[in-house]
Chain A
Amino acid sequence: MAAPRAYLRLVSPVWNAGFGGARGLSGMVAPEGTQKKKRTLGQYLADHFSDVQALREYLTQRQMSKVHQKNWIPTNVKNQYGPYVAGAFFILKLGGSVKFQGQEWIGPNGYSQFRQGFLKFQTVPIEAVDASGCALNYNGLDNLLPLKELQTLSLQRCPHVDDWCLSHLYPLAHSLRELSLAGCPRVSERGLACLHHFQNLRRLDISSLPAVSNPSLTQILVEEMLPSCEVLGVDWTHGMKLAPEEPPQDTARPVPA
C-alpha cells in the first residue's frame, strides 16, 4: 500500500494543477519494475519487523509483569494471621528485613525460620522495615500501609519506588520517625513534596537522588516543610558511602536473626 502513495507524491506537482488531482493517480505512475521491487522489499521489512517488534514487546511486558508478581498481596495470610505476619512474609520474600517490636532483625535468610515460628508474631507490631534494593513497587507498598506502628522505613536504592509511591505512604504519617530514600533512582522533588504529611518524622535521608533536578534547593525546601526533621541530603552524599555500584543485597543490612 505504501509504495503507490509515495509515487503519487512524486508526480503530483506535475499533474495536480487542477482540482481533486490527488485522487486516482496511483494507476498511472512510475515505472512498474521499481514499484514492484519496492513494494516487496517494504512488505518483507514490515512483516519481519512486526514479528520482531511483537516479540520484543512481549518480552518487555513479561519483564514488567515479573515485578508485579513479586509485589503480590498475601491476602490469605493477612486474613488469617493479621497484617504483621503478612507484611513480614512479603518483605522477607522480597529480600528485605523486618524488625518486630522487642525482637531482633529478621533478614531474608531468616525466612524459613520465620515460617516455622511466625504464629507467635501475630500480635507483635512491626516497628522497622528495611527494603533496601528490593523490587518493591506501588502495589507492594499496600502490605506496609496497615503497619500502624512502623517507625523506621528504609527504601534505599529501590528501583521501582517513585513519586507515586511516596504519595501512597501517607497512612504511615503518624508513626513514621525515620525514612530513607537514598539512592532511589525514580524519586524526584515532586514526590518529596508530599512528605509534608509526615510531621512526626525525625530523620529523612534524601541523598543521591538522581531524578531531583535541584538537590540543594530541594533540600532547603524540604527542611522548611519539615522543621522538626533532620534532613540528610547533598552535604552528606560523600560521607554516606552510597556507591551506586554496591550490589543491592549488601552486607550492611542488619544481621539476620
Chain B
Amino acid sequence: MPLRALRFGLCQGLLARWFGTRRGASTLDWHGKISEMKKKIQSILPGGTWDQLNDTGHLPPEQADVVIVGGGVLGLSVAYWLKRLEKQRGAIRVLVVERDHTYSQASTGLSVGGIRQQFSLPENIQLSLFSVNFLRNINEYLAVVDDPPLDLQFNPSGYLLLSSEKGAAVMESNVKVQREEGAKICLMSPEQLRYKFPWINTEGVALASYGMENEGWFDPWCLLQGLRRKVQAMGVLFCHGEVTRFVSSSDHMETAGGEKLTLKRIHEVHVKMDHSLEYQPVECAVVINAAGAWSGQVAELAGIGTGPPGTLQGIKLPVEPRKRYVYIWHCPQGPGLETPFVTDTSGAYFRREGLGNNYLGGRSPSEEEEPDSGNLDVDHDFFQEKVWPPLAQRVPAFETLKVRRAWAGYYDYNTFDQNGVVGPHPLVVNMYFATGFSGHGLQQAPAVGRAVAELVLQGRFQTIDLSSFLFNRFYWGEKVQESNVI
C-alpha cells in the first residue's frame, strides 16, 4: 500500500512537472498552483521574465538566404542595402552573425571617424562621395518610425593634407582627379596656408590640399547604432555567436589551359554560441565576409588560401589586423575652432576633439615598426618618439601638451595594396568580401554595402564600378595602389 502511494505520488509529481499548467486544480498543492500562477502572470507582464524566455537572440535561425559574418559597420551596411534593394518586402532572409555585442575590439568603434575625398583612386573618391551623401541624409536613409533622429555629430572641418617638395606633383595630380570626380578640394601655397592657419609652421611644406566641403569627422558609434536599429526594423536577424566553420560542396573542373580547379559552394555556416560548446548550423545561399581585421581568418575557414602556392587556391585573402594607436592630448595654446583634420608631411595626423583645447592624433608606423597585433595595449613611447616630434615641429604650440588618453584599434589592413576587397571569391563562389579597407573602411561603408548588395542581387556593380577591387587582382598581381593612406 505505501509503495503504491509512493509510486502514485511520484508519478503525479513527474506529470505535474511535465504538464504542470495543464492539470486541473488540486486541493493538495493549491499553494504551489497559486505561486505558479503568480509567476506566470508576472512573466507575461512587461519587464517580466517572459521577455527573456522569448528572446531567441542567442540562437540563429536554421536557414537564411544571406549570412553576414561580422556586425561592424561594413556588415551592417551590406545588410541594409540588401533589404533596401530587395524586390519585395521580406523577400530575402538576412542573418548577421557577430561574436562580440560590445564591439570591444571592432575597428568601427575604435576609429577616429574621419571622412575625406582626398584619395588618389577615382573609386575611393566616388565611394567617399556617395557615403558623404548618405551621411548627410542619414535620417532619411536610416529613419525608424518612433525612434529619435540620429545625431551623427558631423564636424565639417575638412582635411588638410600637407606635402613636401617631393610629393607636390603627385598631390597636384591627385587633386585634379578629385575635382573631376566632383570633390570640393582646393590647393594652397605655403603662403596661403600661413594666412589661413597662422599656427602652422610651413617649413618643408611645398603644397597643401584642403577640403572645403564634405570632409571632416563624425561619431562612428552613431552610424553603427543607426544602421543596427534600422536593419533590425527592416527584419534583418541578428545572432550573437562566432562563425567557426563552413560546410561546402566541391566541383572539380579543368581550365582550357589544363589547370585543375575546385569550385566550392558553401551550404552551411556553423555558428558557435557564446560561452558554450554548441554550434548551430545555418543553411545559406550566400556568405558575406565582413569580419574586418579578422576576415583573413574567416576566408581561411572557407579553404581560401589553403591550396598549393602559386595556384588560385593557394592565394590567401591578404587582410590582417594591424595595430594603430590614437592619442588624445590637451594643449591650452593649441589651434582654434577652425582646425581641420591635418595630416603632416611625416604622415602624423591630428584633429580637434571637442571645444576644450583637446586634440586627437596618431601616425601609422613604418613596416619595420609594426607592433605586435596580439593585444590592444598602447605604446606610449611611440607618441613620444614618433608622433609628437613631427607634430610639435608643424604646430609649435604643441611643444607643450599633455596626453590625456590613448587607445589602440585594428586596421583591417590589406597587405597587398591597402585597398578594399569587394565581391565574390573566384573559387568559393558564394563567399562575397566587404573588407580590407585599411583605415578608410568606416567612411566608405555606406557605399561599399550598396556595391556588394548590387552584386549579390543583380550580379553586377551598378552605382559605382568596383571591378578593380575584386579578389582576382591578387592572382594577377595587379595592385590598385592608393597613395593617400593615412
What is A's interface to B at a CB cutoff of 8 Å? 1-2, 5-6, 8-10, 16, 19-23, 31, 33-34, 53-54, 56-57, 60-61, 64, 138, 163-164, 166-168, 170, 189-194, 196-197, 213-214, 217-218, 221-222, 224-225
The one of B55, B136, B145, B214 in contact with A57, judged by C-beta atoms closer than 8 angstroms, is B145
The one of A8, A31, A53, A166 in contact with B21, judged by C-beta atoms closer than 8 angstroms, is A31
Query: Ordered nearest first, which 4 A-B pairs have the shortest CB separation?
Result: A167-B156, A196-B338, A5-B56, A221-B337
Asked if B21 and A193 sit within 8 Å, CB to CB, the answer is no
- Chain A residue nearest to B145 in the complex (CB): A56
Tell me if B213 is interfacial: C-beta within 8 Å of chain A.
Answer: yes
Q: Identify 20 residue pairs between A and B in the complex whose beta-carbon atoms are under 8 Å apart, listed by A's number.
A: A9-B59, A16-B278, A19-B278, A20-B278, A22-B278, A23-B280, A31-B19, A34-B21, A54-B89, A64-B143, A164-B136, A164-B156, A167-B214, A189-B355, A190-B155, A190-B156, A190-B157, A193-B155, A221-B355, A222-B337
Contacts of B337 in A (CB 8 A): 189, 192-193, 196, 221-222, 224-225
Measured CA separation A56–B147 after assembly (Å):
12
The one of A5, A10, A214, A225 in contact with B336, judged by C-beta atoms closer than 8 angstroms, is A225
Asked if A22 and B59 sit within 8 Å, CB to CB, the answer is yes
Interface size on B (CB < 8 Å)? 38
Q: B residues 185-224 with Cβ under 8 Å of A? A: 212-214, 216
The one of A10, A16, A138, A217 in contact with B355, judged by C-beta atoms closer than 8 angstroms, is A217
Tell me if B274 is interfacial: C-beta within 8 Å of chain A.
Answer: no
**What 18 additional pairs, Cβ within 8 angstroms, besides A2-B56, A20-B279?**
A5-B56, A6-B54, A9-B58, A10-B53, A22-B59, A22-B273, A53-B233, A54-B89, A163-B155, A164-B156, A167-B213, A190-B155, A190-B216, A191-B156, A193-B156, A194-B156, A196-B337, A214-B355
Contacts of A31 in B (CB 8 A): 19, 21-22
Measured CA separation A192–B53 after assembly (Å):
49
Number of cross-chain contacts by CB at 8 Å: 97
Contacts of A8 in B (CB 8 A): 56, 59
Tell me if B140 is interfacial: C-beta within 8 Å of chain A.
Answer: yes
Contacts of B158 in A (CB 8 A): 194
Q: B residues 1-54 with Cβ under 8 Å of A? A: 19, 21-22, 53-54
B241 to chain A, nearest CB (A): 11
Asked if A221 and B336 sit within 8 Å, CB to CB, the answer is yes
Tell me if B366 is interfacial: C-beta within 8 Å of chain A.
Answer: no
Contacts of B278 in A (CB 8 A): 16, 19-22
- Chain B residue nearest to A212 in the complex (CB): B355
- Known contacts A22-B278, A193-B155, A6 near B145 by CB under 8 Å: no
- Known contacts A22-B273, A190-B154, A194-B157, A170 near B56 by CB under 8 Å: no
Tell me if B384 is interfacial: C-beta within 8 Å of chain A.
Answer: no
- Chain B residue nearest to A38 in the complex (CB): B54
B443 to chain A, nearest CB (A): 15
Contacts of A19 in B (CB 8 A): 277-278
Measured CA separation A6–B278 after assembly (Å):
18
Contacts of A190 in B (CB 8 A): 153-157, 216
B378 to chain A, nearest CB (A): 27
Contacts of B279 in A (CB 8 A): 20
Contacts of A60 in B (CB 8 A): 143, 145
Contacts of A33 in B (CB 8 A): 22
B15 to chain A, nearest CB (A): 12
- Known contacts A170-B212, A221-B355, A5 near B154 by CB under 8 Å: no
Asked if A9 and B56 sit within 8 Å, CB to CB, the answer is yes
